[in-house]
Amino acid sequence: MKTMFWAKVKAAAAVAAVTVLGGGFVIHELAAGEPADKAERKGPLAALPSAPGAHIEKIKALGDNQWLSLGAPAADPKWGRALGCSWGGKSMVLAPELRGAFRTGEGVHAYVKPDGFGQDDYWFYDINGNRWICLYPGTDTRNFNKQVKDGVLKVDDVGRVVDSSGQPIPGHLLIHAFGCISYDTDLKKFAILQGGGFGRYYMPGLSSHGGNASVDEAITLLEGQGLNKKGKNFAPWAYNTLTGRFERELAANAGPSLGDTYPLYLYVPSKKEFLAAGPSCIAFFNPATGTWSSPVPNTTTAKGWSLGCYDSKRDRVYGGYLGFYCYDIKTNVMTKINDSAACPVCLNNNNNALVYDSGNDMIIALAFTKSAGPSGTNYNQTGIFAFDPETKTWREPIPFDAAFSSQLRETNAAFYDPELGVTFVYSAGDSRDDGVMWAYKLKSRAAAAK
């Protein structure tokens, strides 16, 4: 019998507010007998969308090829701000009905923040409020050993680390975001492709990675309880915006082996499925049935998909790593776009971001720094590269605004908002709390033609 995944949540049993991970962080509260698919949204995003701040009118007033600094987004009252994260050009994804974007991704390997929590945290950027909302503050490295010894966190009968309510805890899933996050606009879920959770590789606080052994005992105990080792097939992780809970459900079959380099995970609304693309193969995941399609060998983009974006007008995915490709969803055909002097040769997730500007019907590649390819050669100048999917041509690159360039940090993430018609860029130092949010409006087709 197929395991149903991410189907509508049935009427929930009574669940009291659950405090986990020390410091009083409440992840979820659900009233007794309340159907989660019919009730008001729960959790830290319940009040969204928020009222538009004064900065929204300034964004609307942007002209062609103009940048606007929104400054440092306001901090979450308890947990502060999202730090910069390397290898995270796609570390922000839009949730349009919430008027904001999800954010995750670690920066410096095994980094522990000054408050003792790891950078395996999850955030939401509220566009209207220009502020951060924390969904999960990261692993509480100072108390993690005690939480596991006391049974506050434990491995359940299928191999997940769960809290006392049975909610899976998303500790240390990704290390870097790469292209592994997306948003299901139908089921209203933030989705994360990889990771079993709490693995030893660059685990925050682990002594073998520069920590003070504050999580060593807990990881050993969890492994003894069967952490990620009970032979189950799991669907990708998710954060359910309706219930305010993280999910790691069982899947009907095993997922594909995408290869080791730069996988891409992208929701395709026309199929109501997720595209998973890597250097080895391409496959689709159906969240309604928890089923992976049979993988199709990928012989075209041998180096994987460091970046990708969905063209909703043509039902295509554009992106790549070494080279620029188009994958047509309807025909299941991959083609390489002819190179030109204006084509970005290397789409490196650590140095670039890629979005589909639906208002201008253009693919935008933002090259923040020169990208190092496998041979160590630097590709491209910095600036904005815009591809016209209608004519299959690239515009001449546009240099960055002087003000933006002067405040450009080492890590950058971007997402496009169709309601405001702008691309947002969050620029911050790696694992640093010095981030600035920017809004950028691409030069229109009419203006570019002059």
For the segment 56-65, the average pLDDT, to the nearest whole number, is 97
Token pair for residue 300? 């075209």
Q: How far apart are CA 414 and CA 67, in angstroms?
A: 13
Does 158 score more than 50 pLDDT?
yes
For the segment 400-410, the average pLDDT, to the nearest whole number, is 94
Of 49-63, 216-230, 364-378, 410-424, the range with the lowest mean pLDDT is 364-378
Does 9 score more than 50 pLDDT?
no
pLDDT value at residue 194: 81
pLDDT value at residue 340: 73
Q: How far apart are CA 116 and CA 138, in angstroms?
A: 9
Identify the band that residue 278 occupies on the pLDDT scale cut at 50, 70 and 90: confident
Q: Which helix (H) or strand (E) holds 216?
A: helix 216-224
For the segment 8-23, the average pLDDT, to the nearest whole number, is 33
Concatenated DSSP letters for 38-106? TSPP-STTTTPSPPP-THHHHHHT--TTEEEEEESPBPBTTTB-PPB-SS-TT-EEEEGGGTEEEEE--
pLDDT value at residue 373: 66
Does 140 score more than 90 pLDDT?
yes
DSSP code of residue 346: B
pLDDT value at residue 5: 32
pTM score: 0.91
Beta bridge partners of 184: 189
Does 394 score more than 60 pLDDT?
yes
Q: Where are the domains of the chain?
A: 19-449
Q: Helix, strand or coil for residue 207? A: helix
Identify the band that residue 79 occupies on the pLDDT scale cut at 50, 70 and 90: very high
Beta strands in 298-361 (DSSP E): 307-311, 316-320, 325-328, 333-336, 352-357
pLDDT tens per residue, range 28-50: 333 334 344 445 899 999 999 99
pLDDT tens per residue, range 124-138: 999 999 999 999 999
For the segment 261-288, the average pLDDT, to the nearest whole number, is 92
Q: Which residue has the tokens 């395709």?
A: 268
For the segment 51-56, the average pLDDT, to the nearest whole number, is 98
pLDDT value at residue 430: 97
In the chain, what is the greatest distance between 2 CA atoms, to the nearest angstrom? Answer: 68
Average pLDDT score over the chain: 87
Using CA of residue 183, residue 187, residue 193, residue 194, what is the dihedral sign?
positive
pLDDT value at residue 113: 97
Percent of the chain with pLDDT over 90: 70
pLDDT tens per residue, range 287-311: 999 999 999 887 666 567 889 999 9
**How large is the C-alpha radius of gyration of the chain?**
21
pLDDT tens per residue, range 337-383: 877 777 777 788 899 999 999 999 999 999 998 766 666 666 667 89
Instruction: 216-219: list long-range contacts, CB under 8 Å, 24+ apart.
Output: 216/145, 217/145, 217/148, 217/149, 218/144, 218/145, 218/147, 218/148, 218/149, 218/153
Percent of the chain with pLDDT over 70: 87
Q: Are strands 245-247 and 66-71 parallel, antiparallel or unpaired?
A: unpaired
Q: Which helix (H) or strand (E) holds 406?
A: helix 402-406
Token pair for residue 49? 């969308």
pLDDT value at residue 302: 53
Identify the band that residue 266 occupies on the pLDDT scale cut at 50, 70 and 90: very high
Q: Is 273 left (phi over 0), alpha (psi -120 to 50) or beta?
A: beta
Q: Which residue has the tokens 């538009």?
A: 52
Can you list the alpha helix ranges (DSSP code H) found in 99-163? 144-149
Cβ distance 155 to 225 under 8 Å?
Answer: yes
pLDDT value at residue 377: 65
pLDDT tens per residue, range 116-125: 999 999 999 9
Identify the band that residue 258 occupies on the pLDDT scale cut at 50, 70 and 90: confident
Residues with Cβ < 8 Å from 376, sequence gap 6 or more? none
- The b-or-e profile of 121-138 (16+ CB within 10 A means b, else e) is bbbbbbbbbbbbbbbbbb
Q: How far apart are CA 246 and CA 260, in angstroms?
A: 26
pLDDT value at residue 323: 82
Does 91 score more than 60 pLDDT?
yes
Does 7 score more than 50 pLDDT?
no
pLDDT value at residue 3: 37
Looking at domain 19-449, does it have CATH number 3.40.50.20? no
Q: How far apart are CA 414 and CA 401, in angstroms?
A: 16
pLDDT value at residue 300: 66
The phi and psi torsions of 120 (rounded to 5 degrees) equal -85, 55
pLDDT value at residue 378: 66
Q: Helix, strand or coil for residue 316? A: strand
Does 16 score more than 70 pLDDT?
no
pLDDT value at residue 101: 98
**Strands across the sheet containing 352-357:** 352-357, 362-367, 383-388, 393-394
Cβ distance 32 to 16 under 8 Å?
Answer: no
Cβ distance 335 to 361 under 8 Å?
Answer: no
Does 160 score more than 90 pLDDT?
yes
* Nearest residue to 111 (alpha-carbon basis) of 133, 134, 146, 83: 83
* Nearest residue to 263 (alpha-carbon basis) of 250, 281, 251: 281
